Amino acid sequence: MIIGVGIDVAEIDRFAASLERTPGLAGRLFCEGELRLPSGERRGPASLAARFAAKEAVAKALGAPPGLRWLDAEVYVEESGQPRLRVTGTVAARAEALGVRGFHVSLSHDAGVASAVVVAEG
| Per-residue model confidence as pLDDT tens digits over 3-45 | 999 999 999 999 999 999 998 999 999 999 999 987 789 999 9
For residue 12, the domain's CATH number is 3.90.470.20
Residues forming beta bridges with residue 76, ordered by sequence position: 84
Q: What's phi and psi for 23, nearest 5 deg? A: -60, 135
Q: What is the mean pLDDT of residues 78-107?
A: 96
Domain count, the chain: 1
Q: What is the mean pLDDT of residues 102-120?
A: 97
CA dihedral angle for residue 15, residue 20, residue 25, residue 30, rounded to 10 degrees:
60
Instruction: Supply the pLDDT for residue 21.
Output: 97
Domain around 38: 2-121
| pLDDT tens sequence across 53-75 | 999 999 999 999 999 999 999 99
Q: What stretches of 30-97 adopt beta strand conformation (E)?
A: 73-77, 83-87
22 in Cβ contact with 13 (< 8 Å): no
User: How many C-beta neighbours within 10 Å does residue 17 have?
Assistant: 12
Instruction: Supply the pLDDT for residue 39.
Output: 79
Q: What is the mean pLDDT of residues 79-83?
A: 92
Instruction: Supply the pLDDT for residue 23.
Output: 86
Residue 84 to residue 25: CA distance in whole angstroms: 23
| pLDDT at position 121 over 90 | yes
Q: What is the pTM of this model?
A: 0.95
